[in-house]
């Protein structure tokens, strides 16, 4: 492979070439090259705030204006970011494999902007708003300024970002689909995730336990590294185009004259 050496490279490439069911789990690292700060890395989002300060129902109940200000700041930041090469390869892979599912922990919407048609959003979306009391009220919302804060639903309750906070359950249907697909994957790629946040971090482990060939794409080791079949060390924006090229050279070498 041009850009990187892959441990057990030939077996990894062969498995990907032959795979009929491919499942990918992405985390904040897949958006790092789009200049979206990660959660736990240097300069990560949490550098200035601890998760329990802002991304919890208790924080919202205590200070909905502060929580909304943080989310509107993130909407503005991410609204100026573009999908990167990793997002684009994953969008293309929907058409390359007989069955391909993208599961994301990210709330930045960059997979959809790169062309992924229906990623499973385990943690919701920054660009949706819903009533904090009534179910089924989530709607697209790209506003970066809202006055007064917090916005209120017609029922009078404050509205909130349609994301999953710490201590909240994940959307049941999304989680159940993700679990079932992880169990039946032939190849499972964990891309740009620290493998810390549960229950998402269990998906690669469930895939491995069910017999999938699990690949990790990350510049660093994570708690998942010991449990994967091959760790591809490098940024997703470099690794994925190289992997894409290696499993299906786009311009097969012209016959030597």
Q: How far is the CB of 126 from ligand BV8 (least distance, A)?
A: 7
Closest approach of ligand BV8 to the CB of residue 246, in Å: 17
Question: What is the spatial order of strands in the sheet that 139-140 belongs to?
Answer: 139-140, 124-131, 159-163
Please name the residues in contact with 25: beta carbons below 8 A apart, sequence gap of 6 or more: 103, 104, 105, 178, 182, 188, 189, 190, 191, 193, 200, 203, 204
Nearer residue to ligand BV8 within complex by CB, 132 or 218? 218
Name the catalytic one among 74, 88, 111, 123: 123
Phi, psi dihedral angles at 143 (to 5 degrees): -60, 140
Q: Is 123 a catalytic residue?
A: yes
**Which residues of the chain form contacts with ligand BV8 (CB under 6 A)?**
27-29, 32-33, 38-41, 44, 55, 105-107, 123, 163-169, 192-194, 196-199, 217-220, 222, 235-237
Least spacing, CB of residue 254 vs ligand BV8, in Å? 33
The edge-to-edge listing of strands for the beta sheet with 230-232 is: 120-121, 99-104, 21-26, 187-191, 213-217, 230-232
| Residues β-bridged to residue 161 | 129
CB of 153 vs ligand BV8, minimal distance in Å:
20
The residues, ordered by sequence, that sit 6+ positions from 255 with a Cβ below 8 Å of its Cβ are none
In the bound state with ligand BV8, the residue whose beta carbon lies nearer, of 21 and 241, is: 241
Closer Cβ to ligand BV8, 14 or 140, answer by number: 140
d(CA 33, CA 83): 8
Active site residues: 123
């Amino acid at each position: 492979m041009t850009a990187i050496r892959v441990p057990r490279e030939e077996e990894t490439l062969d498995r990907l070439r032959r795979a009929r069911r491919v499942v990918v789990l992405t985390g904040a690292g897949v958006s790092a090259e789009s200049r979206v700060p990660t959660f736990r890395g240097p300069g990560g989002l949490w550098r200035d705030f601890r998760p329990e300060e802002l991304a919890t129902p208790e924080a919202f109940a205590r200070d909905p204006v502060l929580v909304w200000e943080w989310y509107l700041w993130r909407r503005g930041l991410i609204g100026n970011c573009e999908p990167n090469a990793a997002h684009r390869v994953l969008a293309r892979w929907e058409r390359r494999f007989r069955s391909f599912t993208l599961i994301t922990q990210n709330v930045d919407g960059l997979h959809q902007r790169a062309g992924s048609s229906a990623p499973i959003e385990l943690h919701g979306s920054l660009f949706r708003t819903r009533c904090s009391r009534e179910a089924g009220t989530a709607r697209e919302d790209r506003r970066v300024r809202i006055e007064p804060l917090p916005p209120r639903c017609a029922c009078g309750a404050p509205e909130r970002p349609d994301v999953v906070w710490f201590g909240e359950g994940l959307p049941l249907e999304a989680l159940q689909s993700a679990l079932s697909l992880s169990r039946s994957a032939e190849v499972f790629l964990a891309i740009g995730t620290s493998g810390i946040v549960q229950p998402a971090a269990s998906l690669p482990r469930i895939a491995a336990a069910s017999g999938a060939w699990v690949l990790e794409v990350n510049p660093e080791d994570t708690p998942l590294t010991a449990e994967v079949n091959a760790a591809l060390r490098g940024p997703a924006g470099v690794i994925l185009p190289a992997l894409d090229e290696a499993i299906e050279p786009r311009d097969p070498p012209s016959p030597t004259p």
